[in-house]
Structure 1
Amino acid sequence: MRQHAFGWWSILRLGMVQAAIGAITMLATSLLNRLMVLEYGLAAGIPAGLVAWHYGVQLSRPLWGHGSDIGRRRSPWILAGMATLGLGALLAVHGVTMLGHARVQGLALCVFAFTLIGAGVGAAGTSVLALLATGVAPQRRAAAAATTWIMMVFGIVVAAGTAGALLDPYSEARLQTVAMGMVGAACAVTLLATFRLEGRGPLLAQAPVAVVPALSLREALGEIFADDEARRFTLFVFVSMLSYSMQDLILEPFTGLVFAMTPGQSTSLSGLQNGGVLVGMIACGVGGSAFRGRLPIELRTWTMIGCLGSAVALAGLAMAACVGPGWPIAANIALLGLCNGAFAVSAIGSMMGLAGAGRANGEGVRMGVWGTAQAIAFGLGGLIGALGVDVARGAFGQPGMAFGLIFAAEAALFLYSALLALRTRRPSLAGTPLTAVKL
């Protein structure tokens, strides 16, 4: 595969693809989750199970990554994945609107829809990251990954805020209209962003590639797991993302049940959280560059700061669950997003550096493996959080105490993630100053 060095314009175009993926995923995993629980009276474990299933489907990420590794182009994988993701989101919306009069059929359609969503996210997302790893010069990989991730969060923020404003007053017809508009816009953005993207820019130095034979998927996976450092990093990704994701499916139901927020208000609050993530990512990147030559802050340090701050914010949410209205819930959620962003940008920088450090033409498989670890963690985290709330509500009889218990458990997991980051010896995580990640 001939590999070209991407300039910042090409990197920004891939960031637009990430933003489109994030916007559609927000619709399926955040907004529809809230509607199933509050508007249609389902137990929180049902939408959590659907989201967990879509993450389970993403166990196929190494397969998608390997396919793009041995193929001549990655753009077709991105386009096909986005089309599949958009179709799945529209079918999921239709399935939700059926819950009021045909619950069994609606749930069956949702299962099929979330299968498509998982396959679409896996194919498109893995191929985007692999294209970054192969098309971006080594010294720019961490910065490029952080930039595209920031743009993905920006897409989620814009989509959440726009959907929240357009959905009030809520109706099923309004939901379908908003969903069709979001999916159409996301697919159009992806098509324009990837048009003639590959093959742009000067060729990267690839002398070793011509003499390195392509590995089978099994051989490529074996090479990764034979590396002790890669295995340790995979464990860190799993544990940290597990703690990162436990509140995803319960935050909007929490604000609805404990703070009596409408669907539009809770969706807008989710946008505020993701806005905090965006600010945290930018602050870490720009702040690290500002300290150039004065304070060489390591990626590991930023990771630990983000994990510890997230634990504090979640402890605040546990208190909010007991106090109820009157607690500064918006500021608390914004703080959680800010600390999540600091953790995420440092971890992503490490992941991209490590993806490009192994065997040539194997970036897709490596990103697929870490994407799989992340997907498993996200699926388990969301499911554990939602089922935990259901069980605790049954035991305590009060939603506030149930949510507070889960938030406290998640805070403890973030503390453990900080300890794992402290013990990690991988140079890409422990020894790379964030001053090298220029946004």
Structure 2
Amino acid sequence: MMQGAEFGWFSIVRLGLVQTALGAVVVLTTSVLNRLMVVEFALPATLSGLLVGLYYAMQMLRPRMGHGSDVCGRRTPWIVGGMATLCLGAILAAIATGMMDGPLVPALALGIPAFLLVGAGVSASGTALLVLLAARVVPARKAAAASIVWIMMIAGFVLTTAISGRVLDPYSPGRLLAVTACVAALAFALTLIAVFRLEGRALSAIAPRQQQDRAFRDAVAQVWTEPEARHFTLFVFVAMLAYSAQDLVLEPFAGSVFGMTLGQTTQLASIQHGGVLVGMVLFAVIGRLTQGRLSALRLWIQLGCVAAAGVLLLLGIVGMVATVVLLPPLYAALGLANGIFAAAAISAMMQLAARGNAGRDGVRMGMFGAAQAVAFGLGGLAGTILLDVGRLVAGGTLGGYATVFVVDAVLFLAAGVMAQRIGLVGDDGMDRLRAVAPATHGG
């Protein structure tokens, strides 16, 4: 049930600006800082994986934060407070990374809480933003709205990596801190402008007495009994495990195997994110024609998963033949596949967040987000561990990267198989064919 005034396209774009800000800050911590640890400082990839894993582990708080915004009845304070926490954590993480060319103990003493702050900030801001979007956008617009918001987030990735890739060469700790601080300040200012008077008065899906009587763990248990929500949570976990296993190895791959500089690999990451942007634009255009039907979303998810698996296998082959000229088109193709898959999955997430017990949109979205976060943390860590183990077993760097790419391709294919059941799980927990619902019911 829609709560409050329906969001038009302008309001959707305003929320997209918040995602742009989130993406701009996050990409510095998960991409640029990771590259510095692995390549410039020659630290074990597992170390960066553990730090980024802390960032994702903190996102286990997403269901609780979603429940908190349900009870509060307002999402804006969670969006703004989360962004402030994220920006502070990113600045501290940049300082800690710059210290890693010296003694590790003080660098880690600062880096660990910094990455925890980044995770807490993303959890609060990102969850509240998605719940607000899902609650105030009509089902027929949700596919396009999801694409628009994520396109704007990827735009933040692209702009940040493209610009920072140029200004970070030659690297210095002071230069890294200056770039991070500027990005963080701009992101926070953009968020304040974007959400100003957007939400309006407090909107609560649960009556005050119910808010007081139902504990958080009861709300989570209630959502977990919903077969549709449970299956989609498991799908999100496997899909994001595949998505994230590549995340921490793509930039180091280009640097370690092909000898690219920090600026060059950051620009290569920009090409990949540009591919994601194109994939999401493509889905946004066609997604409007599907009216958000889950049957159509399933097909797009599967297409993206299969395409990503194929490109990852090709990357392993390119590494063996050392054909650097193929890297830009392959990174762009991987981004395209990831963009199609991600936009379709996010659109399905927005449809399913409101399907189930009333007043649990925030918990349901938080549960999906927590599954994503756990998968991202495990995937990033697993990718870096596979890289280090593969190096030892294969006796070379290339063998480690090839191992990661093959395992990741298998995970994408598994996610594609699971996607076939999205929207086909009945209330009794058994698979059943569901007639295509009208657009007003979210497909």
TM category, shorter = over 0.9
CA distance in 2, matches of 1:430, 1:150: 30
Instruction: State the one-letter code of the partner of 1:184.
Output: A
- 1:329-361: CA deviations, max 9, x gaps? 110111000011111111111110011222333
Alpha-carbon shift at residue 244 of structure 1 (Å) = 0.8
TM-score with structure 2 length normalisation?
0.91
Match of 2:335 among 334, 337, 343: 337
CA distance in 2, matches of 1:393, 1:77: 43
TM-score with structure 1 length normalisation?
0.92
Matched with 1:101 is 102
Q: Secondary structure at the match of 1:286?
A: helix
Matched with 1:259 is 258
Deviates more, 1:33-42 or 1:97-106: 97-106
Matched with 2:308 is 310
Please tell me whether the aligned partners of residues 314 and 408 of structure 1 are also in contact (alpha carbons under 8 angstroms): yes
Please tell me whether the aligned partners of residues 383 and 404 of structure 2 are also in contact (alpha carbons under 8 angstroms): yes
Please tell me whether the aligned partners of residues 93 and 115 of structure 2 are also in contact (alpha carbons under 8 angstroms): yes
Is 1:216–2:252 an aligned residue pair? no
Across the aligned residues of Structure 1 and Structure 2, the Cα RMSD in angstroms comes to 2.7
Aligned residues: 432
CA distance in 1, matches of 2:231, 2:5: 31
Instruction: State the one-letter code of the partner of 2:310.
Output: V
Alignment map for 1:291-306 (pairs within 5 Å): 298-306=296-304
Matched with 1:405 is 403
Alignment map for 1:231-310 (pairs within 5 Å): 231-289=230-288, 298-310=296-308
Matched with 2:26 is 25
Matched with 1:130 is 131
Instruction: State the one-letter code of the partner of 2:266.
Output: T
Match of 1:323 among 298, 321, 324: 321
Matched with 2:16 is 15
Please tell me whether the aligned partners of residues 38 and 253 of structure 1 are also in contact (alpha carbons under 8 angstroms): yes
Change (3 A) 1:406 1:291: same
Alpha-carbon shift at residue 133 of structure 1 (Å) = 1.9
Please tell me whether the aligned partners of residues 55 and 119 of structure 2 are also in contact (alpha carbons under 8 angstroms): yes
Unaligned runs of 5+ in 2: 427-432
Please tell me whether the aligned partners of residues 242 and 380 of structure 1 are also in contact (alpha carbons under 8 angstroms): yes
Q: Secondary structure at the match of 1:328?
A: helix
Q: Secondary structure at the match of 1:199?
A: coil
CA distance in 2, matches of 1:249, 1:320: 18
Please tell me whether the aligned partners of residues 158 and 271 of structure 2 are also in contact (alpha carbons under 8 angstroms): yes
Please tell me whether the aligned partners of residues 146 and 349 of structure 1 are also in contact (alpha carbons under 8 angstroms): yes
CA distance in 1, matches of 2:294, 2:29: 40
Matched with 1:162 is 163
CA distance in 1, matches of 2:301, 2:240: 12
Alpha-carbon shift at residue 142 of structure 1 (Å) = 3.2
Q: Secondary structure at the match of 1:298?
A: helix
Alignment map for 1:355-370 (pairs within 5 Å): 355-370=353-368
Instruction: State the one-letter code of the partner of 2:245.
Output: M
- 1:20-40: CA deviations, max 9, x gaps? 111111000110000011111
CA distance in 1, matches of 2:361, 2:135: 7
Change (3 A) 1:9 1:259: same
Alignment map for 1:61-80 (pairs within 5 Å): 61-80=62-81
CA distance in 1, matches of 2:423, 2:128: 28
Matched with 1:381 is 379
Please tell me whether the aligned partners of residues 288 and 297 of structure 1 are also in contact (alpha carbons under 8 angstroms): no
Change (3 A) 1:364 1:289: closer
Change (3 A) 1:211 1:23: closer
Instruction: State the one-letter code of the partner of 2:47.
Output: I
Matched with 2:192 is 191
Change (3 A) 1:212 1:284: farther
Matched with 2:224 is 225
Instruction: State the one-letter code of the partner of 2:389.
Output: V
Change (3 A) 1:399 1:432: farther
Alpha-carbon shift at residue 252 of structure 1 (Å) = 0.6
Change (3 A) 1:70 1:354: same
Change (3 A) 1:326 1:7: closer
Please tell me whether the aligned partners of residues 3 and 135 of structure 2 are also in contact (alpha carbons under 8 angstroms): no
- 1:179-223: CA deviations, max 9, x gaps? 1110011010001111111128xx99x9x8669933431221111
Alpha-carbon shift at residue 2 of structure 1 (Å) = 6.2
Change (3 A) 1:222 1:243: same
